[in-house]
């Protein structure tokens, strides 16, 4: 069963990286525009990245074994 979801986990990790990159782009654009507050898009992207990272982590966890 080990590695059963590796392909999905890897895709999720890639998506998390894309979300992080996009959040950085949004922050840079906001700074260049002279904004004083964190952009709402950056906050949404960060929340989405965290959710995707959590999903990827859930696919790496080992199932508990029962002692008979």
pLDDT of residue 1: 44
Q: In the chain, what is the greatest distance between 2 CA atoms, to the nearest angstrom? A: 64
pLDDT higher than 50, residue 23: yes
Residue 2: predicted pLDDT: 55
Pair 12, 59: CB distance under 8 Å: yes
Record the tokens describing residue 13, joined without a space.
């990790």
| Across 13-24, average pLDDT | 97
Query: What pLDDT shows up at residue 58?
Result: 93
For the chain, the helix, strand and coil percentages under 3-state DSSP, each to the nearest 5: 70, 0, 30
Q: What is the pLDDT of residues 26-52, one digit of tens each?
A: 999 998 888 878 788 999 999 999 999
The confidence score (pLDDT) of residue 36 equals: 79
């Amino acid at each position: 069963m080990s590695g059963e979801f590796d392909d999905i986990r890897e895709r999720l990790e890639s998506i998390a990286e894309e979300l992080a990159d996009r959040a950085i782009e949004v922050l840079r654009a906001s700074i260049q525009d002279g904004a004083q507050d964190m952009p709402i898009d950056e906050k949404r992207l960060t929340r989405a990245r965290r959710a995707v990272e959590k999903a990827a982590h859930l696919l790496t966890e080992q199932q508990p074994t029962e002692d008979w």
